[in-house]
Amino acid sequence: MTGLRARFSATVDYRLILRMLAVRDKSFFTAVEGDEAANIAACGLTVKQAAFVRVAALVAIDAAPASYVHAVDVAGLAGATAEEIVGVLVAVIPATGGDRVVSAAPKLGLALGYDIDAELEQYTS
C-alpha cells in the first residue's frame, strides 16, 4: 500500500480516479479503504475537509450514533471546532433535506458531548 500512497501523493488526474472508481479497481479501493494516508492523498482534500465530507455522508445515510463519534473524533484531531462540525449540518440541508438533519442533530450532539434530548426535556417539563 505504500506504493499506492506514493502514487497518490502527487495530484492525480480526476479522470483516472473516476475510471478506477467506475470499474471498482481492486488495488485502488484496497488502498483508500484501508489506509487513511492513501485515502487523503487520493481524494486531494485536507484531513479536515475529508472529515467534514464524512460527517455529511453520515447525515445523508442516516447513520447510527456511534458512527458520528468516530467522525467527530477524526474532525477534532484535524483541528475542526464544534461550530465547524455543526456547520456541516447546516451546509447539507439543501442536499439532504431537513428531515435528515433533524435526525442527525441529536446524534452529532451526543458525539460532541451535548445531549440535545436532555436539554430539550428541561424546557418541556
| Domain match, 35 and 52 both | no
| Domain match, 93 and 119 both | yes
Helix/strand/coil percent split, the chain, to 5: 80, 0, 20
Q: pTM for this one?
A: 0.85
| Residues 66-124 pLDDT 10s | 999 999 999 999 999 999 999 999 999 999 999 999 999 999 999 999 999 999 988 87
| Residues 30-76 pLDDT 10s | 999 988 899 998 898 999 999 999 999 999 999 999 999 999 999 99
Q: For residue 69, give the amino acid letter.
A: V
| Domain match, 119 and 69 both | yes
| Domain match, 29 and 79 both | no
| Domain match, 36 and 69 both | no
Residues 6+ apart with CB under 8 A from 109: 115, 116
Range of the domain at 115: 46-125
Q: How many domains does the structure of the chain reveal?
A: 2
| Domain match, 24 and 57 both | no
